[in-house]
């Protein structure tokens, strides 16, 4: 009972924080709602970004992946997040610059305006819609695990509905600003929870040696054996590290107030990963004590329930729950932005926010409904999401670096890549271990390049060639009425 009381008390506090986050920012234009008026300092960008990264996937997904698939799943998970930061350090400031130049609040804003192509804008929306479904599902699977293990008798359906309602409250109150502040609360709880569980797991099993080396942990579970397993880990790391910033980043890069804020906040992000050793300790404690069940997704909560007193279990559950709800909220928000600004044309600025809110609600309902239809290993859903988002990479490369790419071939490339991704997911050939996203991305790149060679359309200068003065000048003359609200709130 105490578990549930603490759990809900913390959720209530978080809703309070999200309301408080609105204070002093009552200007409720769409720009404020989606990108916080492009005003976030480095520290807030830091928390918004790590808040998304260290989501429920960290606490629930990573242990279940290792438990079900062995060390390689731990290795690629840690590896791609770690290497995403050096990539982001160099790329994210340019992503921000592109967003600033086009007065963009969503990714399709950037692509559509850069190439002056409505079809490209729409296809980008399509890629995002397809990609965000597994992402939403990923959060809901985790939330369902957490909510059904806090000791009150919640059915799957109730659990999912409850999570959906709280996520909706966060963003409908004050847009992107509330998740950023709730992140701080969630991160503090999560760090504490993971460190405590890791330490308890170590002391229960008698140190790291006993945790990893005991007779009950097969050697094969702490190593990666065989070419395909290693190839899978390496290709997944490379593909997802790049996709992390060239695909998923707009929601936490655009709200930054400057390139400096984006770049400098990245420097310290890898330090946050120092919580992972504790999580890995706890996971292997679970492996060695053979805690699991037929449902690997629940392994983290099983370990927690065994090691922790009730009140701490409540805090752990709340931290995991908050992180899932938080990411769901940010995802729904960016999706809402995409539909209002890019799919439905010419929505009056004054109505954009209301429509965004409706779309957010719809997305949450759809993602929740899909989750109830089946249970998949969380990290498998995660890789699928990255396969889809990776298809945005060639377009970003065109926007940032190369003059040669043309919009229609990019569209064809994206569609071919998505189709290939779905085929490979259903067919599941081994391909020597190569991540299927890498293969679909290859198809995408080939189509894009060949099409661009054949295309006669004039080329567009990439962001790389812009000067600072041009970026700021571009802002003062918005290309469409949609951009005016950014200027008004900046």
Partner 1 sequence: MRFRTASPPAATLADSAPFERQHMIRSWPSLLIGLGIPVIAVLGGIVAFADTSVFVFGIPLLFFWIFLWFPLTSLCLWISWHFFDRQAYPSDVVSS
Residues 35-64 that bind partner 1 (CB under 8 A): 41
- Tell me the three state secondary structure of residue 409: helix
Question: Among 49, 50, 71, 253, which residue sits at the site for partner 1 (rule: CB under 8 A)?
Answer: 71
CB under 8 A: which stretch of 13-21, 191-199, 379-387, 472-480 binds partner 1? 472-480
Minimum Å distance from CB 10 to partner 1? 28
Question: Among 151, 228, 270, 433, which residue sits at the site for partner 1 (rule: CB under 8 A)?
Answer: 270
Question: Among 16, 86, 432, 481, which residue sits at the site for partner 1 (rule: CB under 8 A)?
Answer: 86
Question: Among 16, 207, 345, 432, which residue sits at the site for partner 1 (rule: CB under 8 A)?
Answer: 207
Is 472 a binding residue for partner 1 by CB under 8 A? The answer is: yes
Question: What's the CA gap between 437 and 236, in Å, rounded?
Answer: 8
Is 290 a binding residue for partner 1 by CB under 8 A? The answer is: no
Query: By C-beta, is 147 or 414 nearer to partner 1?
Result: 414
Contact predicate 326/55, CB 8 Å:
yes
Question: What's the CA gap between 253 and 236, in Å, rounded?
Answer: 23
Query: By C-beta, is 89 or 386 nearer to partner 1?
Result: 89
CB under 8 A: which stretch of 5-13, 193-201, 232-240, 388-396 binds partner 1? 232-240
Query: By C-beta, is 430 or 467 nearer to partner 1?
Result: 467
- The 8 Å CB, 24+ separation contacts for 272-278 are 272/50, 272/54, 273/78, 273/81, 273/82, 275/54, 275/190, 275/191, 275/194, 275/195, 276/58, 276/62, 276/78, 277/198, 278/194, 278/195, 278/197, 278/198, 278/199
In DSSP terms, which residues pair with 256 in a beta bridge? 40
Question: What's the CA gap between 149 and 159, in Å, rounded?
Answer: 10
Minimum Å distance from CB 354 to partner 1? 27
Is 83 a binding residue for partner 1 by CB under 8 A? The answer is: yes
Name residues contacting partner 1, limited to 385-424 (CB under 8 A): 400-406
Question: What's the CA gap between 171 and 179, in Å, rounded?
Answer: 7
Question: What's the CA gap between 143 and 94, in Å, rounded?
Answer: 34
Question: What's the CA gap between 438 and 391, in Å, rounded?
Answer: 10
Is 27 a binding residue for partner 1 by CB under 8 A? The answer is: no
Number of residues binding to partner 1, judged by CB under 8 A: 78
Angstrom CA distances, 123 to 81, 223, 341, stand at 27, 41, 14
Minimum Å distance from CB 265 to partner 1? 11
Written as six digits, the tokens of 220 are 């094969």
Contact predicate 297/214, CB 8 Å:
no
Is 351 a binding residue for partner 1 by CB under 8 A? The answer is: no
> The dihedral of CA 419, 425, 429, 431: what is its sign?
positive
Angstrom CA distances, 334 to 32, 106, 128, 251, 379, stand at 13, 7, 10, 7, 22
CB under 8 A: which stretch of 54-62, 85-93, 105-113, 340-348 binds partner 1? 85-93
Question: Among 193, 197, 280, 416, which residue sits at the site for partner 1 (rule: CB under 8 A)?
Answer: 280
Is 429 a binding residue for partner 1 by CB under 8 A? The answer is: no
Contact letters for partner 1, residues 117-156 (x by CB under 8 A): ----------------------------------------
Query: By C-beta, is 370 or 466 nearer to partner 1?
Result: 466
Written as six digits, the tokens of 416 are 């071919």
Query: By C-beta, is 139 or 235 nearer to partner 1?
Result: 235
Question: Among 28, 264, 375, 480, which residue sits at the site for partner 1 (rule: CB under 8 A)?
Answer: 264
CB under 8 A: which stretch of 21-29, 182-190, 227-235, 347-355 binds partner 1? 227-235
Question: Among 267, 290, 350, 358, which residue sits at the site for partner 1 (rule: CB under 8 A)?
Answer: 267
Minimum Å distance from CB 333 to partner 1? 24
Is 16 a binding residue for partner 1 by CB under 8 A? The answer is: no
Which ranges of 308-461 would DSSP assign to H, the alpha helix? 310-338, 349-371, 378-389, 393-400, 407-427, 436-454
Question: What's the CA gap between 79 and 85, in Å, rounded?
Answer: 11
Q: Could you identify the residue written with the tokens 């965004």?
A: 356
Is 480 a binding residue for partner 1 by CB under 8 A? The answer is: no
In DSSP terms, which residues pair with 40 in a beta bridge? 256
Query: By C-beta, is 116 or 464 nearer to partner 1?
Result: 464
Name residues contacting partner 1, limited to 294-313 (CB under 8 A): none
């Amino acid at each position: 009972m105490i578990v549930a009381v603490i759990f809900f008390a913390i959720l209530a506090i978080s809703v309070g924080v999200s309301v408080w986050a609105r204070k002093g920012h009552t200007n409720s234009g769409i720009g404020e709602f989606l990108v916080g008026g492009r005003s976030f300092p480095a520290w807030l960008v830091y928390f918004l970004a790590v808040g998304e990264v260290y989501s429920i996937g960290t606490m629930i997904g990573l242990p279940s992946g290792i438990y079900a698939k062995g060390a390689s799943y731990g290795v690629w998970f840690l590896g791609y997040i770690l290497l995403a930061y050096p990539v982001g350090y160099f790329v994210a400031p340019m992503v921000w610059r592109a967003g600033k130049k086009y007065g963009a609040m969503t990714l399709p804003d950037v692509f559509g305006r850069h190439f002056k192509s409505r079809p490209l804008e729409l296809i980008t929306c399509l890629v995002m819609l397809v990609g965000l479904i597994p992402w939403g599902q990923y959060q809901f699977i985790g939330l369902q695990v957490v909510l059904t293990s806090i000791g009150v008798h919640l059915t799957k359906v109730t659990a999912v509905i409850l999570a959906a309602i709280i996520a909706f409250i966060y963003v409908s109150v004050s847009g992107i600003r509330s998740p950023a502040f709730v992140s701080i609360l969630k991160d503090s709880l999560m760090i504490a929870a993971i460190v405590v569980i890791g330490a308890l797991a170590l002391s229960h099993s008698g140190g790291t040696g006993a945790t990893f080396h005991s007779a009950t942990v097969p050697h094969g579970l702490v190593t990666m054996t065989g070419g395909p397993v290693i190839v899978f880990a390496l290709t997944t790391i490379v593909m997802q590290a790049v996709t992390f910033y060239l695909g998923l980043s707009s929601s936490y890069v655009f709200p930054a107030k400057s390139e400096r804020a984006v770049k400098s906040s990245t420097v310290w992000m890898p330090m946050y990963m120092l919580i992972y050793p504790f999580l890995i300790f706890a996971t292997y404690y679970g492996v060695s004590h053979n805690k699991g069940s037929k449902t690997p997704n629940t392994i983290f909560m099983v370990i927690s329930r065994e090691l922790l007193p009730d009140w701490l279990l409540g805090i752990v559950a709340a931290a995991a729950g908050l992180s899932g709800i938080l990411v769901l909220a940010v995802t729904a928000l960016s999706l809402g932005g995409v539909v209002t600004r890019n799919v439905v044309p010419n929505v009056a600025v004054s109505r954009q926010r209301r429509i965004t809110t409706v779309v957010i609600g719809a997305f949450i309902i759809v993602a929740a409904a899909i989750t109830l239809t089946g249970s998949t290993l969380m990290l498998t859903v995660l890789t699928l999401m990255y396969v889809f988002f990776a298809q945005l990479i060639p377009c970003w490369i065109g926007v940032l670096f190369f003059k040669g790419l043309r919009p229609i071939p990019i569209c064809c490339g994206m569609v071919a890549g998505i189709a290939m991704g779905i085929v490979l997911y259903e067919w599941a050939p081994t391909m020597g271990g190569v991540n299927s996203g890498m293969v679909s991305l290859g198809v995408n790149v080939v189509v894009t390049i060949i099409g661009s060679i054949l295309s006669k359309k004039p080329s567009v200068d990439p962001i790389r060639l812009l000067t600072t003065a041009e970026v700021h000048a571009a802002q003062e003359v918005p290309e469409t009425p949609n951009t005016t609200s950014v200027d008004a709130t900046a």
